[in-house]
Amino acid sequence: MSASRMILLGPPGAGKGTQAAGLINRLGIPHVSTGDMLRAAVNAETPVGLKAKAIMDAGELVSDDVVIGIAEERLSEDDAKNGFLLDGFPRTMAQAEALEGLLSKLGVELDCCLAITVDNDAVVERLLKRAEIEGRADDNEETIRERMREYDNKTAPLLDFYTGRGVLTEVDGMGTIDEVEERIKQALEG
Ligand code: ADP
């Protein structure tokens, strides 16, 4: 697998976090998850965390300015020089454009946008199950539906954007974790 600057795209519950874990191991690149970074900020009660908490709990998207700032800072760190796996960013066209600007400033190019596709109803079920196990504050049915709406309205257009850039690879996310992992391996090798 040669891709080293990657975006992982997909609706909530598509299995991005799960597949990201395997990918960063195999590729030896850092996992850059804006969701994880925001949750850490919420737990640490930083100014960003205090601002983001209510928005995240409602299933809405945190403002582009805040998230772009966090992502730019992280991608500018040393360990991201030779590659990174972006998970949960970009999520809007404004974020995708900011990322383009940052990458050209850093003098690097995106290798791949890996999109995990899933069936909406199946995903709601997965997330409800995760809610029971992990007790994440944004995993209740109403919030899940809002996150789906946000995805459809604001994030799904990125599929066309990255198709246009010639870097989109789609993988079917339905099936077991191992099955999806295998599909990802094949898609990245092909
Ligand atoms: P999911 O499990 O729904 O894919 P994440 O763990 O990636 O969600 O993110 C959780 C929440 O953090 C989102 O619902 C959103 O409020 C906020 N968030 C994460 N990344 C972004 C982003 N790139 N832009 C705006 N909000 C974000």
Average pLDDT score over residue span 141-157 = 92
What pTM was computed for the model? 0.92
Which residue among 66, 144, 147, 149 has the greatest number of ligand 1 atoms within 8 angstroms of its CB, and so is best to mutate? 147
* CB-ligand 1 contact for 95 (6 Å cutoff): yes
Q: Quote the pLDDT of residue 3.
A: 64
pLDDT at 2 over 60: no
Average pLDDT score over residue span 7-26 = 94
Q: Quote the pLDDT of residue 139.
A: 78
Residue nearest to atom 12 of ligand 1 (CA): 35
Question: Which residues are catalytic, by number?
Answer: 16, 91, 130, 136, 147
Q: Quote the pLDDT of residue 53.
A: 96
CATH 3.40.50.300 fits 5-38+82-189, yes or no: yes
CA distances from 85 to 23, 50, 101, 131 (A): 8, 26, 17, 25
pLDDT interval class at 190 (50, 70, 90)? low
pLDDT at 1 over 50: no
The CA distance from 94 to 108, in Å, is 19
* CB-ligand 1 contact for 147 (6 Å cutoff): yes
pLDDT interval class at 168 (50, 70, 90)? very high
> Residue ranges of the domains in the chain?
5-38+82-189
The CA distance from 39 to 94, in Å, is 22
- Could you tell me what percent of the chain has a pLDDT over 90? 82
DSSP state of 88: S
Mean pLDDT of the chain: 93
| Cα–chain center distance at 151 | 11
Residue nearest to atom 9 of ligand 1 (CA): 35
Structure tokens belonging to residue 119: 């069936």
pLDDT interval class at 129 (50, 70, 90)? confident
